[in-house]
Amino acid sequence: RISAAFFDPSARSFPARGWPLLEVLGHRIAKSAVVGLWLIIVTAAAASTLVPRLREHCASLWTTALAMALGPAIVVTLKDLNAYRCPWDLVQFGGVAEYGSGWFVSKINAGRCFPSGHAAGGFSLVALFFAGRALDHPRLQRAGLAAALGAGCVFSLVRVAQGAHFLSHNLWSAAIDWCTAALVFVPVMIAPGTDEPPRPTSAHAGELDTNAKSAVAGWRRIRLATTCSLKGLRAVWCREAAFRQEVVASALLTPVALLAHVTPYERCALFLSLAFVLVVELLNSAIEAVVDLASPGRHRLAGIAKDAGSAAVLLSIGMAAAVWLTILSASH
């Protein structure tokens, strides 16, 4: 019904689609402005290792850049995987196509419309809100949330008026951007400190019911393991540039794996090879941290341990590259 309000039945078209000013300002320039802001953030993140004032914000800058890019990248990837059409393509709105639905269709049958890519660009500014949360900066939180809602709603209205998207397409883009940014910022926002389970102090603590004690300990162990894992991810993300680069590379390769014409097992192998590189990098970071703590004097064996960890990372990258080249070359 909302799309129908912008449709002219007599002309069998969406009048706003032919407004040059709306197309230039509301579509092209608006999209370029978001891309320009993203490039500024990436530039600041790259310069953070050289500029002392930015150095302490290095992790937050890289995380913001990743969150802003990953949400729209997921949206663009999903557009090629479903058969949902744009309003202007449908017969009832002057087009030639029937309403389609369904997922994982062939590229020829893909609607390339759902979710909305333009709205995803506007709503991607929600990464600034999460950056404010990570930095404990209330003003940045409010500005980021206002920018995301403002830009996202305006971008959505423009494309709905032009007949390019239904309202639901834009709402899904907002949800994807929000969830993606929230997940990306989890390692950065985990509070420092320990979360160890309390030790019994009473003289009769050993007389507690064994089954109840085991159940509580089991849940505490799960919670503690989850918290420690997230803290470890945060520490590696903040301190290891190599890990951040590998995460960004994996994010960029994800659409390629999703769009490749391969079997489900081959697609799974592509993703597992990327995950394998990240796991090896995490282990290498742990080895380097332990070696630096145990051998501040740079013992010869400490150097060997670090070199071995680096070699493991190099081999994992080589194995991942071999998997990708083998699968993708066989698919063509």
Q: For residue 82, what are the β-bridge partners?
A: 103
2-24 pLDDT, tens digit each: 899 999 998 899 999 989 999 99
Cβ(88)–Cβ(164) below 8 Å: yes
Query: What pLDDT is recorded for position 192?
Result: 47
Can 281 be counted among the known catalytic residues? yes
Of these residues, 98, 196, 281, 288, which one is catalytic? 281
Backbone angles phi, psi at 172, to 5 degrees: -65, -35
Summarize the confidence of residues 91-111 as an average pLDDT. 85
126-142 pLDDT, tens digit each: 999 999 998 889 999 99
Residue 246 maps to a domain: yes
Residue 251 maps to a domain: yes
Same domain, 122 and 248: no
Report the predicted TM-score, pTM, of the whole model to 2 decimal places: 0.66
Backbone angles phi, psi at 114, to 5 degrees: -110, 130
Residue 210 maps to a domain: no
Cβ(14)–Cβ(8) below 8 Å: yes
Domain span at residue 275 reads 240-331
Cβ(14)–Cβ(163) below 8 Å: yes
Same domain, 313 and 245: yes
Same domain, 162 and 257: no
Cβ(66)–Cβ(184) below 8 Å: yes
Residue 43 maps to a domain: yes
Cβ(120)–Cβ(177) below 8 Å: yes
Give the number of domains in the chain: 2
Lookup result for tokens 């501040």: 296
Q: How many Å apart are CA 238 and CA 134, to the nearest integer?
A: 12
What is residue 82's three-state secondary structure? strand
**CA neighbor of 120 nearest in space, from 20, 247, 35:** 35
Lookup result for tokens 């709306």: 22
What is residue 83's three-state secondary structure? coil
- Portion of the chain with pLDDT greater than 70, in percent: 88
Lookup result for tokens 């301190």: 239
| Terminal-to-terminal C-alpha distance of the chain | 44
